[in-house]
Structure 1
């Protein structure tokens, strides 16, 4: 058992921790949006991107435009942050026009409720330790939740290559996903290693999910789907990871004692 714990510790230390969300985007309780360009400019599109943190100006018109000290030539697209877009109502000059926008404030979600859901999922570890098949099924399900969270947070990012963003959002998940397949195969073969692999995946996913606690505290999440869906995925990954660790080590301890 001590050797197994040592191996698990080395895996946890040697694997990268994921960013909470892809592209460095963070949960928040406000969201900025462009309401108009006044007067309108032919061929020019302006919008807020990347969870309302950046202004994007696409110039398909015939003349260069100047905004926030930047020149956007015909055929070019500029993306940048501007602190003015965080005001309740804001405006930024764009050539002879003005970009107008608003920032909407949202109430924070019930963080305690989501923490209780996470604890309830973690409590399933007591039952998972009763059989290798249950451990394997739970490992696949919890890992799938982690994959969905990484995909959803990557899909919402504009202006970056998908693969590097996905890798950054996945972190330790890149190790967990093939291990989940290995766990399922070991369970089919009824190998005792199933429990250790499940516990390892669970512990890794707990580490990977720690930065995602903010998803329970903020209303707006950088995720290509509903915020509650993302919170549910985080609760499943974090709580399920704890359940796998508890269940896997419980099974190994019982087998060692026998």
Structure 2
């Protein structure tokens, strides 16, 4: 048991946590958006992408347009950051027209409710430690939640390669994910190692999910789906992971075996 405790402490203190969301995007209460191009340019569109941090212009017209000293030819797309888009009401010249936009501010949710949900999930995860099969099932569910969160945050990024972004959003979870299969195999074989693997995976997913705490208090989340779905995935990763670690420890304490 002491060896297991030492291994998990080393894991938690040395593992590099994942980015909160892919591409370095962060939860926030404000979001910049385009309201119009005045006067309209045939075939030319403008939108804010990457969680309102970049202005993307697509030229579907027949002639070039110029924005921020950059010429966008027909069929081309230009994406860039512009400090002007952070003002409450903003304008960016686009050729002979002007891109107009604004920053919407939406208050975030009460984080207490999500912390209570996280605590309830942790308690539920702990009671899974009563049986090896339940621990393995819990590992599958919690890992799936973390995978879903990582993929959803990756899909929210425009203009980046999927795999590198996913790797950045996953962090130590990349090690925990394959260990889920180990836990399932151990459970099928009725091996006591199921609890050991569950405890390790749970601790790793807690480490991976710690940067996502801000999702509980901000309204706008960089996630390809409803914000509350992402919050639930974060709660399941953190709470479920903590519960699995505690439940796995408890099982090992009661049985006195890690192999």
> Using the alignment, how far apart are the partners of 1:14 and 1:191 within structure 2?
28
> Using the alignment, how far apart are the partners of 2:7 and 2:122 within structure 1?
23
> Using the alignment, how far apart are the partners of 1:121 and 1:145 within structure 2?
12
> Using the alignment, how far apart are the partners of 2:125 and 2:165 within structure 1?
32
Unpaired segments ≥5 residues, structure 2: none
Give deviations 1:31-60, integer Å, cap 9, x for gaps: 111111111112212111111111001123
User: 4+ residue runs of structure 1 moved beyond 4 angstroms?
Assistant: none
- State the match for 1:32 in structure 2: 32
Q: Does 1:130 align with 2:130?
A: yes
Give deviations 1:109-159, integer Å, cap 9, x for gaps: 110110111111111244122111111111110000001100110111100
- State the match for 1:177 in structure 2: 177
> Using the alignment, how far apart are the partners of 1:256 and 1:140 within structure 2?
24
- State the match for 1:164 in structure 2: 164
Unpaired segments ≥5 residues, structure 1: none
C-alpha RMSD of matched pairs (Å): 1.5
Q: Does 1:19 align with 2:19?
A: yes
The alignment covers a number of residue pairs equal to 257
Q: Does 1:210 align with 2:210?
A: yes
> Using the alignment, how far apart are the partners of 1:50 and 1:41 within structure 2?
24
> Using the alignment, how far apart are the partners of 2:194 and 2:170 within structure 1?
23
Q: Does 1:56 align with 2:56?
A: yes
- State the match for 2:230 in structure 1: 230
- 1:69 offset after TM fit, Å? 2.8
- 1:8 offset after TM fit, Å? 2.7
- State the match for 2:188 in structure 1: 188
- State the match for 1:245 in structure 2: 245
- State the match for 1:79 in structure 2: 79
Q: Which of 24-33 and 82-91 deviates more?
A: 82-91
